[in-house]
Amino acid sequence: MLSQTIEGFRLSPQQKQLWSLQQSGGAYCTQCILRIEGNLQVEILKSTLQKVIDRHEILRTYFHRQPGIKIPIQVISNSSVFLYQELSQCDQQYKSVEDLCQQERQSVFDFEQGPLLHTSLLKESSNQWFLIITLPSLCADSFSLKNLVQEVGNLYAACLQGEELGDEPVQYIQFSEWCNELLEDDDAESGKIYWQQQALNLTPLPTLPFENHAGKQTIFEPGIHLVRLEQDLVARLDAAVTVYKRTVAEFLLACWQTLLWRITGQSNIFVNTVYSGRKYEELQEALGLLAKHLPVQCSFQENLKFTEILTSIGHTLNSHEKWQEYFIEEEQRTARDSPLGWPVSFECEVGADRCESGGVAFSLEQQYVCFERFKLKLSCILRPDSVTAQFHYDPDVIAPESVPYLAEHFQTLVASALDTPEATVGELKMMSDRQLQQVLVEFNQTQVDPCIDQCIHHRFETQVKQTPDHVAVVFGTAQLTYTELNQRANQLAHYLQKRGVGPDVLVGIFIEQSVSDEAPLTFDAITAILGILKAGGAYLPLDTALPKESLALRLQDAEAPMLLTQQSLLEKLPEYAGQVICLDRDSAVIAQESSENPTSEANGENLVYVLFTSGSTGRPKGVAIEHQSLLNYIDGILPRLDLPFGGSFATFSTFAADLGNTAIFPALCTGGCLHVVSQAQLSDPEALASHFQNHPIDCLKIVPSHLSALLTSPGMQSILPRQRLVLGGEAASWGLIEQIQRQAPNCQIMNHYGPTETTVG
C-alpha cells in the first residue's frame, strides 16, 4: 500500500534549531494577552480571528515528520480551525488571567494534526475583556505579537464595515525558503567566515555567583519577574541616547552587560541578543519565527568609561546585523569547545501601539516568548512613557529569590549610568539605597546578650544530662558516649586544678591523633580540650608536625605553664620549663580523680583558647579567644547548619587550627556524634571510604584542596556529607563545586571564611 504523499516546505534555520531544542521538553511557546475595552461584538471578533488565520499561512501550519526523518516539514492546511473558549466570571472553570496563561503555556501542542493556535476570551466586565493567544514558538516570535495586535484591530474594524484588507502579507514559507537558499548560495561564504571568526573569539559563558552548578538536565519551564522602570528614568533614557546618538536598546544592553561584568568579575561578557530578522521593509509586518539570537561580546576593564562600552556594543550590534542571516547556532557549537547554551540573553523591542477601531480598543497587555533555552534573560519592552523589564530565569539554575535583587541592581545601574555616563564602569552604582541599608544595617542586626555567666563546657555538660548514652565521639573503631567522655574530662579537670590550672591559665596540648586499640589514647585530644576547659583554663593546641624551634617560639610567646602530651612525643619537645603531663603515662593517676563535674571561677569573659596564626605574613602570633566569643560563633553557625538533632559531624583537620571548631563544638553542644579522623586514616583512602560508607556523616568542614585530593581516589565520594559541606581556609574552585554537586546533589555547600581573630571555625 502506497503511503499518502504530503506536500510540504523545509523548516527555516530558526525552526530547525528550535525543533531540536524542544525535543527535550519545555515551554517553548509564544503567548500574549490582549486587553479589549469597549462594546465588543464577540462574533465579529471570532470572524476577525478567522480572517487573520486565513491571511497568514503560518497560523494554519502543522509539522509533519516523515518516517525515518528527524526534522519535519511545514505543511499548510486549508482549514482555518483554531481552538477557542469563552469564559466569564460566572463560569465554574473560570480562572485568573495569570492562571489561565500558565495553564495554556503548559498545554501540549499536536504538531502533526493541529490546530496550533489556541485562544481564550475572558469577560471581566461588560466593557472589558482579555483575549489570550497561545501558539508554538515555531509559528511566531515576539515581533509577530506586535503585528498581530495591529492586524486584529484593523481587521475587526474591516469586519464591522464588511470590508477586506487589501494588502497581501508576506508568507512565512517565502521567508523560510529565502533563508535556506541564502545559506546555499555561493555568496554565503563571507557570512559564514564572519560568524566562525566571532565564535573563535567568544569566551566562556558568564558564571553567575547565585546560580546552581549541579548541571541538572530538566524540562525547561522558566519563571518571570517583571519590573517597570521609574518614569523619570524613561524620559532621561530618551534624552541620553539622543545625546550619544545611540538607541535605547543599545543603552540597556550596555547596562545589562556591565551588571553581568560587575557581579561575575569576568572581563569578557557575551550575551545572546535577539535580532528581529526583519531588517527589510517587506518583512516588517510578517508573522512567524524570523527572530534569532546572536552572541554579542564586550570586553571590560575597570578604567573604561560607560560611554566607551556603549559605543563598542553599538558597533558590534550594527556589524552583526549585516550578517545575521548567515548565523547558524549549530555550526557555532561545533566551532567552539563549549556550546552557546545555556546562555544569558537579552531582548529589546518597541511595544505594540494601542489600536482603536469600531468603538473598541485593543492593547497588548502582556507577552511571553520563548524560543531558546537560557539560564537568565532580560527582555525589555519600550513604550512612549514606560520601559518594562522582564527577567526570565531557569529556576533549576537560578534561585528565584535572587532575581528581584538582580532586577533592583539593574535599575540602580541604569540610573547611575544616566547620572554619570562618563564615569568608569567600575564606578557605577549598582546597589540601591534600600539594598545598602540591608547590607550595612539590617543584616548586621545580630546582637545577642553576651554569655558572660556561661562557658562552652557548660553547654556540653547540659547536653550530657540530656543525652547521656548517645555516642559523642568516634575515632576509628572506638567510641565514647557523652557520659564516658564527660567522666574522663572531669577526672583530668580535677587533676589539673590540683596543679594550679584555673581561669586564664594557658595549657598546651601537644598530642598526636593516632589510631590505637587502646581507647584512652585515641581520645586524648578531645579529652584534653574538655578537661582544660572544665578546670577553668584555656587550651593552646600545638601541631605535632612543627619543628622544635617553632614549638619553642609558641610556648615562649604564650607563657603556658603546663603542657599535655604523650610519652612518644617527648623527644619532639624543645626545652620547656613548665609542667609536662603525659596523658598515657599518667592515665592511672588521673583515673583516680573524681568523675563528677568540677567547679571553677571561669566565666564568659575568660579565655577559652589561644591559636597561633600560620605566620604567612611574618612572625606567627597568638590569638586569644574568650568563651563568650566561641559561644557567639556556635549560636551563629548552628541555625545556618540547620541539622536535625543528633547529626553526625566529621573533622579532618589538626586541632592546632580553628578549622575544626565548626564540627567539634556544634556536635558536642547539640547531642551530635563527632567523627575524629587521624592522619593515619587519611593516608589510607580505601579504609577511610569504608568507614564513611558504614558511618555516613551529615556535616563536614574541610579545606577545598584537601577535599579535592581525597576525591581523586576511587569510592571517596562516600566522605561527602549527606546534608552540609562547609569549605574554608582557602578559595574553592567552581570545578570542585560542580564535582561535589554531581556526586552529592542533596548536599548543601557553604563557603565559610573568616580570620582566626573573629572566632570563625
> What does the pLDDT look like over 75-95, one tens digit per residue?
999 887 888 888 877 666 666
| 277-309 tens-digit pLDDT | 999 999 999 999 999 999 999 999 999 999 999
How far apart are the C-alpha atoms of 737 and 636, rounded to whole Å? 24
pLDDT at 515 over 60: no
Q: What does the pLDDT read at residue 3?
A: 52
pLDDT digits (tens, 9 = 90+) for 217-240: 577 888 999 999 988 888 899 999
Separation of alpha carbons 27 and 373, rounded Å: 10
Can you give the residue ranges of every domain in the chain? 13-173, 190-359+370-442, 456-758
How many percent of the chain have pLDDT more than 90?
54
Average pLDDT of the residues in 353-360: 85
Give the contacts of 596 (CB within 8 A, at least 6 positions apart): 490
C-alpha triplet 521, 527, 532: angle, nearest 5°? 135
Strands 73-76 and 61-64: antiparallel
CATH architecture of 13-173: 2-Layer Sandwich (3.30)
Average pLDDT of the chain to the nearest whole number: 87
Choice between 509 and 328, residue whose per-residue pLDDT is larger: 509
The average pLDDT across 521-539 equals: 90
Let me know: does 648 contact 699? Beta carbons within 8 Å.
yes
| Residue 361 DSSP one-character state | E
Which pLDDT does position 519 carry in this prediction? 39
Q: Hey, do 13-173 and 456-758 end up sharing a CATH topology, with the first three levels equal?
A: no
Average pLDDT of the residues in 419-433: 94
| Interval 421-426 mean pLDDT | 94
Contact 66, 409 (CB under 8 A): no
Which pLDDT does position 334 carry in this prediction?
44
Instruction: For 560-580, give one letter per residue: b (16+ CB within 10 A) or e.
Output: bbbbbbbeeeeeebeebeeeb
**pLDDT-wise least confident of 146-155, 211-220, 384-393:** 211-220
Residue 335's pLDDT band, with cuts at 50, 70 and 90, is very low
Q: What is the CATH topology of the domain spanning 456-758?
A: Rossmann fold (3.40.50)
CATH architecture of the domain with residue range 190-359+370-442: 2-Layer Sandwich (3.30)
* Mean pLDDT to the nearest integer, 678-699: 81
* pLDDT score of 513: 67
What is the average pLDDT across 672-688? 80
- What confidence category does residue 663 fall into, taking pLDDT thresholds of 50, 70 and 90? confident
The grid cell for 519 is 581507647
pLDDT digits (tens, 9 = 90+) for 448-506: 666 677 899 999 999 999 999 999 999 878 899 999 999 999 999 999 999 999 999 99
Q: Determine the average pLDDT of the residues in 734-738.
A: 85
CB count within 10 Å of CB 693 equals 12
pLDDT in tens, 545-580: 889 999 999 999 999 999 999 999 999 999 998 999
